[in-house]
Amino acid sequence: MLNNITLSRYQDTNSFLHKLNPLQKLISLILFIILSMITNNLYLHLNYLLIIILLIVISKISFKEYLYSLRTMLYLILGIFLINILLKVELEDNIISLLKIIETILASTLITLTTKENDTINALIYLLYPLKIFKINIYVLAGIFSMTLKFIPCIIDSINKIILTLKARGVNFKKNRILILKTIIIPTFNLTLKRADDLALSMEVRQYNINKKITKLKKWKLIDIIIVIILIIQIIEVTICDI
């Protein structure tokens, strides 16, 4: 039921994208989202979408995984489309706003599916490194992000098990919406708190050190540098030309 969520589901297909530097992929994702948001040209957005589709093919990961990600955000996409129609937004601008959302979802899914979770966390630590100037503990921030990524699949799994158990007992959620709060959300919340407490105890017993030195990432290759430079140039071009 909630298995379509692709967050934190790395798939190793040994593609070209898997071999890229994780930090570069994270920086490129941020730059691409910025580029997508500031671009208001329909033809450019269609080109961005084609590039993403090409990268999806290169990743050697089934298109179903990406379609699942879009399906989880379908109501958001349709909602924005309908709101724009009600506000009498021009059709081209409406399509552009939808393309921005679709591009962001597909690009984020692409990075998630081609980057190991630990590599993503380590890349995030490197990215947040400048915050140490302000005496912010970046290892704590990265740790919180890591725990969140690990807990989401657990929460989804718990919800699925509860729903399947209740359906096996003949519970009909369509007839009584209050049951969703009483029999799914509250038990899931309690289970999550229990798992968090168990995890904290386990980390304490094992003397987990949040400030432990992280593993070094893959070295930057020429292709990593070229990708980042191209994105920066494209952002500058779009900003200056106001496309």
Q: Residue 151 gets which letter from DSSP?
A: H
Among 30, 28, 58, smallest CA distance to 224 is for 28
Say what the pLDDT of residue 1 is: 47
Sign for the pseudo-dihedral over CA of 39, 40, 44, 45: positive
Q: Do residues 35 and 235 touch, judged by C-beta distance below 8 A?
A: yes
The total number of residues written for the chain in this structure: 243
Q: Give the phi and the psi of residue 27 in degrees, each rounded to 5.
A: -65, -45
Sign of CA dihedral 113, 114, 116, 120: negative
Q: Which residue, chain included where needed, has tokens 């989202």? A: 33
Spatial neighbors of 39 by CB under 8 A, at least 6 apart, are 45, 48, 238, 243
Retrieve residue 96's tokens: 């552009």
Q: What residue spans define the domains of the chain?
A: 1-133+218-243, 138-210
Q: What is the pTM of this model?
A: 0.74
Output the pLDDT for position 213.
58
Could you read off the pLDDT tens digit of each residue along the chain, which spans 243 residues?
444 454 557 788 888 998 899 999 999 999 999 999 999 899 999 999 999 999 999 999 988 888 888 887 888 888 888 888 888 888 888 899 999 999 999 999 999 899 887 788 888 888 888 887 888 777 777 777 777 766 766 777 777 777 777 777 776 666 665 666 667 777 777 777 777 777 777 767 766 666 655 556 678 889 999 999 999 999 998 888 766
Distances (CA, A) of 109 to 70, 124, 129: 9, 17, 25
Going 160 to 165 to 170 to 173, the CA torsion angle's sign is negative
